[in-house]
Amino acid sequence: MVKRYWDEMNFPQPTDRELKENAKATAKKAAKKGKELHPVVITGRQITKSWWGNAWCSNLERYADFDNRLPRGKRYVKTGAVIDLEITKGKILARVQGTRKTPYKVEIRISPLSEQQIQTITDKCGKKVDNLSKLVSGDFPEELKEVFIGHGGLFPSPKEISFNCSCPDWALMCKHVAAVLYGVGARLDEDPLLFFTLRGIDTNRFVDVVIANRTEMMLANVNKPSKRILSDTSLSDIFGVI
């Protein structure tokens, strides 16, 4: 990564107060127009708390072409500069407040996983029924770490991600893009299933696998002496995950 001393001189950084004021003005304007914004709100000192959220934030370093954009992005997201953020399949759309009044438009594209990659991830997650049940309920067991950060996992490799921002910065990952990526971390922290949305994996597929596995287990028990297991188990126990 490169550091240019004149970079700091050419672009004075807006203060937290300026960012907050601009964000407030934009929110007011949007409200007047009846437009709904989805801002990223960081309440604690840390942007993320979960292991997967933290792993996402450390993973961002792989995408940065200038190392000073990351701490700036971190400050921006904490200040509330990411005034709108939406995560859909393969795409993150956001608006980030900066020095000027009009927020910058950020678009991040992430390639969807191939069918084969999806199958591998589903298999890895589905090795234990417990894993999948937890996953479906949004509590990702740490033993699934490899599914996220491993090769061909849910975290995109630098080749699988591209950035676009309307600001004049020449860096591929400008501070606005960095702020959005940290904002994505905060969203994923709350709802890890968004990882699957982002990579184009239908989470219903996991629910199906959990149900199939459970039913299989129940049926396997039918032939054992304790036949009561099926009759005593209500359907909601079998399909407890949905």
Distance CA(136)–CA(10), nearest Å, equals 48
Site residues (CB under 5 A) for Zn ion, limited to 173-202: 174, 176
Identity of the residue, 40 or 174, whose beta carbon is nearer to Zn ion in the bound complex: 174
Tally helices (H) and strands (E) across the chain: 12, 4
Identity of the residue, 16 or 169, whose beta carbon is nearer to Zn ion in the bound complex: 169
The pair of structure tokens assigned to 187 is: 């969203």
Report the Cα 28 to chain-centroid distance in Å: 27
Site residues (CB under 5 A) for Zn ion, limited to 70-109: none
Identity of the residue, 147 or 167, whose beta carbon is nearer to Zn ion in the bound complex: 167
Identity of the residue, 167 or 188, whose beta carbon is nearer to Zn ion in the bound complex: 167
Site residues (CB under 5 A) for Zn ion, limited to 158-177: 165, 167, 169, 174, 176
Identity of the residue, 154 or 179, whose beta carbon is nearer to Zn ion in the bound complex: 179
Strands (E), 27-99: 82-88, 91-96
Nearest approach in angstroms of CB 191 to Zn ion is 26
Please tell me the count of residues contacting Zn ion according to CB under 5 A.
5
Specify whether the CB–CB gap between 210 and 136 falls below 8 A.
yes
Task: Tell me how far CA of residue 234 lies from CA of 75, 197, 213, 238, in angstroms.
Answer: 51, 31, 16, 7
Nearest approach in angstroms of CB 163 to Zn ion is 9
Distance CA(3)–CA(15), nearest Å, equals 22
Contacts for 15 with CB less than 8 Å, ≥ 6 apart: none
Identity of the residue, 67 or 191, whose beta carbon is nearer to Zn ion in the bound complex: 67
**By C-alpha distance, which of 124, 116, 103, 114 is closest to 28?**
103
Distance CA(130)–CA(73), nearest Å, equals 37
Specify whether the CB–CB gap between 64 and 174 falls below 8 A.
no
Nearest approach in angstroms of CB 165 to Zn ion is 3
Nearest approach in angstroms of CB 26 to Zn ion is 16
Nearest approach in angstroms of CB 86 to Zn ion is 17
Nearest approach in angstroms of CB 169 to Zn ion is 5
Which residues of the shown chain bind Zn ion in the complex (CB under 5 A)?
165, 167, 169, 174, 176
